[in-house]
Chain A
Amino acid sequence: MTVSQVNSSSIFRRNPKLAWREIDGEVVIISPDDSILHELNETASAVWHRIDGESGLGDIAKSLAEDYGAPIETVRADVEELAADLSAKNLLLAREGEA
């Protein structure tokens, strides 16, 4: 999924095949399919934790903006870009029916 296909109403879930763990505030992820180790920084980890297969990216961005005291528009753009990136890496899966 590319950034242009992702918007505030997009809903993602974590790929259930993945092994992952939060270590000292940062999430590490590894896929048994390709053995690629991924490390998310603190902000990306905060997004990862909020991905629940039900919340839209807009709601996630709103929650983050409130917690971090950041401008909602900036946060929304970052969250959408990150979701597209994680989706391209097959770490996130778009909810069925999404593009």
Chain B
Amino acid sequence: MATPVMDRLIRRTVASAVPLNIHFDLTYRCNERCVHCYLDHEDHGELTTCEVLEILNQLAEAGSFFLTFSGGEIFLRKDLMIILEHARRLGFDLSLKTNALLVDAERARQLRALGVRRIQVSIYSADPAVHDEITKVRGSLERSLAAIRFLKSEGLMVKIACPLMKQNLASYEQVFRLAKELDVPYVFDLTITPKLDGDTSPLAHRAAGSELLPIIQSRGCADDTRPASPPRIDEDSIASVSSSGIEGSAYDNRLCSAGHNSCYISPYGDVFPCVQLPVPSGNLRRQSFLEIWERSSGLKKIRSLRESQLRICSTCEIRRFCERCPGLAMMEGNDLMGPYERACELAELKAQQAGLANPVSAWHRGLAGRGAREAAHSSLSSSESLAQ
């Protein structure tokens, strides 16, 4: 939930199209081989250290503030500390996403000294057999947990991210207890996406919606985080509030933050509205960030879209239970503005859980109606042909 300060910040950066939030993948290389991963793990010509530092200069100039470095596994970049040091000099608020296999006590100390604020570590289960079977690296759970303890002992803000899939569905209670024992927030993520090249094979690992319902009911998903400290009171000249990062829904009628006040940068300098919204918007080896941000036709198009223009979803009676993602709609339904099966399925389950009797999404209702009409038409045709 957005706090007043964050809400205001989101509103004014959306209104003036300031790229407040940047997700920057520094590499797609990885030292794990997670079964559901959407990346190819190859290096097709990553940005050099100099290129990354120059991009950071441009982002700071453009007003970007919340910067998340992710991958792949970011600690495979030998220049990571140089990049972090430069980013801190430029005043960015820094978050990292990592499996933390390469984080030892010394690295944790360095991260603390560099002013990294948040580190999200992927944990799939408290059971090494389950976790390591997903990552395909024996001993990976033990190493990731050791890293979390190093990071915590340095006072860093650590969060566990647990993508849920068939393989670890039964582990979610364990992960919850583990997070409690480690005294860290956690997030269960139900999003398993196709690969960036369109390969849909990761979707085979998705758990059925009906299997996810008990988890949705008991723990909440995706936005289930605990703030680090209680909110403070707004004042005249200084408004202060605790924050775990970009939150909230101050996006009014817009589809989401993508392209409005946030964007994604690939290890090759490609800019997209979001990692899950593969609308090519430009490349930072050929253009400056601001040229892309201000002039890209892809970004302009995304900014022009509104929820009310969703032909089917905007009429859906259970829209309030739906966490429709435009990127997934594009990747799974081939239509950024259209519905897609997973969103409808989960929305119906959540609506059912909230007490609605037999909730059906607008899309499913239309499909059922069309099916009935087609059946009737087919029957009529048969009658006609019989009559002829």
**Hey, which bits of chain A sit against chain B, CB under 8 A?**
17, 19-24, 28, 30, 32-41, 43-44, 82, 85-86, 89
Contacts and interface: CB of A to CB of B under 8 A. Distances in A.
Contacts of A40: 237-238
B228 A32 contact: no
Interface in B220-242: 227-229, 232, 235-242
A32 B229 contact: no
Nearest to B89: A16
A60 to B, nearest CB: 15
Contact of A19 (B8, B93, B232, B235): B93
Of the four ranges (under 10, 10 to 19, 20 to 34, 35 or more), the interface on chain B belongs to 35 or more
Given A20-B91, A39-B8, A89 B157 contact: no
B92 interface: yes
A18 to B, nearest CB: 8
B63 A23 contact: yes
Nearest to A45: B237
A24 B91 contact: no
Interface in B239-272: 239-244
A19 B242 contact: no
B66 to A, nearest CB: 8
B243 A36 contact: yes
Given A34-B229, A82-B238, 6 more contacts: A19-B65, A21-B91, A32-B157, A35-B157, A37-B240, A38-B238
Nearest to B229: A34
Contacts of A23: 9, 12-13, 18, 20, 63, 65
Contact of A37 (B5, B92, B118): B5
Smallest CB-CB A-B distances: 10 pairs? A19-B93, A32-B117, A44-B237, A21-B65, A37-B243, A35-B228, A39-B239, A38-B240, A32-B115, A30-B93
Contacts of B239: 38-39
A88 to B, nearest CB: 10
Q: Is the interface of B mostly helix, strand, loop or mixed?
A: loop
B126 interface: no
A35 B238 contact: no
Contact of B16 (A24, A41, A89): A24
A36 B241 contact: yes
25 contacts: A19-B93, A19-B115, A23-B20, A32-B93, A32-B94, A32-B115, A32-B157, A34-B242, A35-B157, A36-B229, A36-B241, A37-B5, A37-B9, A37-B241, A37-B242, A37-B243, A38-B5, A38-B239, A39-B238, A39-B239, A39-B240, A40-B237, A82-B237, A85-B235, A89-B240
B329 interface: no
A85 to B, nearest CB: 6
A30 B236 CA distance: 18
A40 B9 CA distance: 11
A28 B116 CA distance: 17
Q: Which of A34, A36, A41 has the most CB of B within 10 A?
A: A36
A21 B63 contact: yes
Nearest to B232: A36
Given A34-B229, A34-B242, A19 B117 contact: yes
B155 interface: yes
Contacts of B157: 32, 35
B6 interface: yes
B269 to A, nearest CB: 23
A19 B93 CA distance: 5
